[in-house]
Chains A and B, each alone.
Chain A
Amino acid sequence: MAQLSVSEVLPSGVCIGVYGPSGSGKSTFLRAISGLIRVPGTVQINDDVWQDDRRFLAPHQRRAAMVLQSPGLLPHRTVAGNLEFAIRFNRNAKAGLLDSILQDFGLVQLRDQRASTLSGGEQQRVAIARAVAAQPDVLLLDEPLTGLDDEARQALLQVLMQLKRTGITCIFVSHSAYEQALLADHLVIMDAGAIAMSGSSASVFANASPTSALGRELGVVIGDLQVVENADGLAIAARDELRIQMATKAPRGSAVSVRVRADDVSLTEMPEHQSSIMNTIPVTVSGQSIFDETPFSLIELDAFGTRLFARITNDASRKLGLRVGAKCHAQIKAAAITAYL
């Protein structure tokens, strides 16, 4: 078990992503909050002190509900029975909670099915619904999507994104930058049992040092793009003058977000039309970081008011004569862009 050395005040009412390589202490952090493990220190949620020097509340006394990688459902109970298990211990539960949760999570059809007969994705959906039924002060999600097939994972991502909009406080542990980019409002990067970075998701994704735990996942999330064209899955989405081509099933007129990693952006002085790269966007250099310990520099770019990052070699940076205010073109492979609804 990783050592834990964390001192941080985190916002409530949002989804807090906890990201880091395996062994960085993410799960330990979550289990310490839930009380499943005992780590000396103080845990306070809003005005409730769950543990300090004098007291230590057991997991069942903490208004936290946990969803683990393994759904942990009661196999002998039905879907409704599993939700009732959580509601039983929820003193604030009002009549009708069960039905509204079943409704919200699309579980009405599965209501009377035994948990042991559900697919992995269905089980995890029930597990999330069950945790929500406990109406906790904080929802703790420990790699809930890991190990699921892609279809189930996408479906549950939608569930979690909807959930996040309800304003529930959740702490979402995942080693997938993709999931974090989608879900985290506030991102905490952990390394060796300590917090390496903590801040709004956008700022952390943008400002992480290339040697940090975020590493190759460094990049930006561009939201509120509108799909203006979609021909058999190859779509163009736009915001103001920014136009980005990508693969998505999102139909024309729908809104998408995209994630663009710094490693997937290359720079050229003149737009190249004889290239396989479909996105060529005129940009202005707005910042430049050269890290002596690596052969790469990180270039911050402005594309019609939207920030992008490019990671290129120090040599290339010198050859292009890049400095703040210089104009050039950013090239992004359509295939490198992840889009989500």
Chain B
Amino acid sequence: MSPEDLQALWLTVKLATSTTIILLIIGLPLSWWLVRSQSIAATAFNVLIALPLVLPPTVIGFYLLLAMGPSGPLGALTSTAGLAPLAFSFPGLVLGSVIYSLPFVVQPLQAGFAAVPQSVLDASSSLGADPKSLLLRVAIPMSQRAVVAAGVLGFAHTVGEFGVVLMIGGNIPGETRVASVQIYDHVEALDYAGAHQLSLILVVFSLVILTLVYRVWGGSVFTQSGSKSA
């Protein structure tokens, strides 16, 4: 395996880890709010979050690229904040992955939170637990499986991401050239041996993750979310 392949693999792990951490930080309170709120805003958010399940990744990548451009809202934001543009950068990839993998984290979390009995929440809040404590000390510990499942799915889905990265990444070694893109390059360059090697690693990784998921959760984590891969 070439140093470039190793670099791509390492970058993939880095991207998936950062994305998963951010997804959990955002996803936990967001899912909690979505489960508890009956507002129209919550319904609208549910629909928005689920969009990446339905839309081709290229569509998301395409609009992200437009948004990150100098005339796009994200581009305007980064330039007024004096930050580097997001396109072709690792932070840009993280942002894209967060949006793209959000439903894979939010949906298992929602299912987990919805299963927390109302009686536990009522009793806990009457004992003095404020909304933050309800989330941190009641809902999350009672939904441990859902939290782990959400993290695993978010990680795995980010590893398998291709379309969005291809659209906004710019194929920069060590910055945006992740394993899936590297495999694509090998195939396009007719370097099938290179493609096989790297693919094998991803296949083994996916098998391990899925076996783990089915072993520990009996596959029930998938009942809440359809999966559509890049």
Contact = CB atoms under 8 A, between A and B. Distances in A.
A and B touch in the complex (CB under 8 A): yes
Interface of A: 34, 36, 58-60, 62, 64-77, 85-86, 89-90, 127, 130-131, 134, 140
Contacts of B123: 66-68, 71-73, 127, 130-131
B127 A70 contact: no
Nearest to B120: A72
B125 A70 contact: no
Contacts of A85: 124, 127, 129, 137
Given A89-B128, A134-B128, A36 B120 contact: no
Contacts of B77: none
Interface stretch (B41-49, B138-146, B161-169, B170-178): B138-146
Given A74-B138, A76-B144, A60 B120 contact: no
Contacts of A65: 126-128
Nearest to B123: A72
10 contacts: A34-B126, A59-B125, A60-B131, A60-B133, A72-B117, A72-B119, A72-B120, A74-B142, A89-B127, A130-B127
A204 B28 CA distance: 51
A58 B134 CA distance: 13
Contact of A60 (B130, B142, B144): B130
Contacts, number: 76
B4 interface: no
A205 B159 CA distance: 70
Secondary structure type dominating chain A contacts: loop
A74 B124 contact: yes
B126 to A, nearest CB: 4
B122 interface: yes
A73 B141 CA distance: 12
Most buried by B among A34, A59, A66: A59
Interface of B: 117, 119-131, 133, 137-138, 141-142, 144
Most buried by B among A68, A72, A86: A72
A77 B125 CA distance: 17
Given A85-B137, A89-B128, A90-B128, A70 B119 contact: yes
Given A89-B128, A130-B127, A73 B120 contact: yes
Nearest to A127: B123
A89 B144 contact: no
A340 B137 CA distance: 41
A141 to B, nearest CB: 11
Given A36-B126, A68-B122, A74-B137, 16 more contacts: A36-B122, A59-B122, A60-B126, A62-B126, A64-B126, A65-B126, A66-B122, A66-B123, A66-B126, A71-B119, A73-B120, A74-B124, A75-B142, A76-B144, A127-B123, A134-B127
Contacts of A76: 141-142, 144
A140 B142 CA distance: 24
Contacts of B131: 60
Contacts of A67: 123
B117 to A, nearest CB: 7
A143 to B, nearest CB: 12
A79 B7 CA distance: 50
Contacts of B122: 34, 36, 59, 66, 68, 72
Given A68-B123, A74-B120, A60 B128 contact: yes
